[in-house]
């Protein structure tokens, strides 16, 4: 497929729409956060840098090669492009990456604390939401830290002193994981304010993950 023929309009439209959802669902503020989708083994679509989400049109969403070269779009890609590319390079199972600054989850990121399984919906992410080591935003080093924290089994990680990253098969799924991370963070925060939350054992979370995989089928 020739690079000039790569349009992927529907995917770019979906990224623009989910970007607006980030604000509506209180997962970020301003122009914070970013979203991307793996188009094929050589190309990724990613949200633009610094454009208010309400103003992002499908044609504003960038198509880039996996080396970061922009091949479609007139704006700069998100400054977190290196982090997104690092995830795609290391996780063949990932089809989309969502980065948010959701307030409750970012509170735990600033504490450097993983979010444990105090609510069963943590099973959308794994046995917990781990914490990546702090690295400066918009650097390859941040991508490496996120990759290390995700490993092979987690679908989300907290970026220490920064925010949240989720990764899943599709944009819809990665966005759902971002919603679940924020919900579980809020429940854990509130539970700790009252008392000591009970934590589900790993084997129960594994069982719940299997049930969620078949939910709605």
DSSP notation for 36-52 = EEEEETTEEEEPBSS--
> pLDDT for 78-122, tens place per residue?
999 999 999 999 999 999 999 999 999 999 999 999 999 999 999
DSSP state of 123: G
Domains and CATH numbers, the chain: 3-213 (3.40.225.10)
Residue 6 to residue 3: CA distance in whole angstroms: 5
Q: Please list the residues that pair with 77 across neighbouring strands.
A: 48
> pLDDT for 52-84, tens place per residue?
999 999 999 999 999 999 999 999 999 999 999
pLDDT the model gives residue 190: 98
> pLDDT for 142-178, tens place per residue?
999 999 999 999 999 999 999 999 999 999 999 999 9
Residue 31 to residue 78: CA distance in whole angstroms: 10
pLDDT the model gives residue 215: 56
What distances in angstroms separate CA 70 from CA 40, 75, 80, 110, 155, one per listed residue?
A: 15, 9, 14, 33, 27
Please give the average per-residue pLDDT across 11-40, as a whole number: 98
Instruction: Select which of 7, 17, 24, 80 is catalytic.
Output: 80
Retrieve residue 113's tokens: 């604390």
pLDDT the model gives residue 7: 63
Which residue in the block uniquely carries the two structure tokens 């735990």? 108
Smallest Cα–Cα separation from 169: which of 87, 60, 74? 87
Please give the average per-residue pLDDT across 13-17, as a whole number: 98
Retrieve residue 115's tokens: 């979010």
80 assigned to active site = yes
pLDDT at position 217 over 50: no
Task: State the pTM of this model.
Answer: 0.94
pLDDT the model gives residue 214: 61
DSSP state of 129: B
Residue 56 to residue 114: CA distance in whole angstroms: 33
Chain Cα centroid distance, residue 50 = 18
Strands 131-132 and 156-159, bridge-based pairing = parallel
pLDDT the model gives residue 211: 81
Please give the average per-residue pLDDT across 184-201, as a whole number: 98
pLDDT the model gives residue 17: 98
Q: What is the mean pLDDT of the chain?
A: 94
């Amino acid at each position: 497929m020739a690079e000039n023929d790569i349009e992927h309009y529907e995917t770019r439209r979906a990224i623009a729409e989910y970007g607006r959802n980030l604000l509506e669902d209180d997962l970020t503020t301003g122009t914070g956060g970013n979203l991307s989708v793996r188009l094929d083994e050589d190309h990724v679509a990613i949200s633009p840098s610094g454009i208010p989400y309400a103003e992002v049109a499908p044609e504003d969403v960038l198509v880039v090669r996996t080396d970061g070269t922009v091949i479609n779009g007139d704006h700069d890609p998100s400054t977190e492009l290196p982090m997104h590319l690092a995830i795609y390079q290391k996780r063949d199972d990932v089809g989309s990456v969502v980065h948010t600054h959701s307030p409750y989850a970012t509170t735990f990121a600033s504490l450097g604390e993983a979010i444990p399984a105090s609510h069963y919906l943590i099973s959308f992410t794994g046995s917990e939401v781990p914490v990546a080591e702090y690295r400066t935003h918009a650097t390859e080093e941040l991508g490496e830290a996120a990759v290390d924290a995700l490993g092979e089994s987690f679908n989300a990680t907290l970026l220490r002193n920064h925010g949240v990253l989720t990764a899943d098969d599709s944009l819809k799924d990665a966005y759902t994981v971002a919603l679940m991370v924020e919900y579980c963070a809020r429940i854990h925060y509130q539970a700790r304010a009252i008392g000591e939350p009970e934590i589900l054992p790993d084997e129960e979370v594994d069982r719940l993950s299997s049930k969620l995989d078949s939910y709605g089928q």
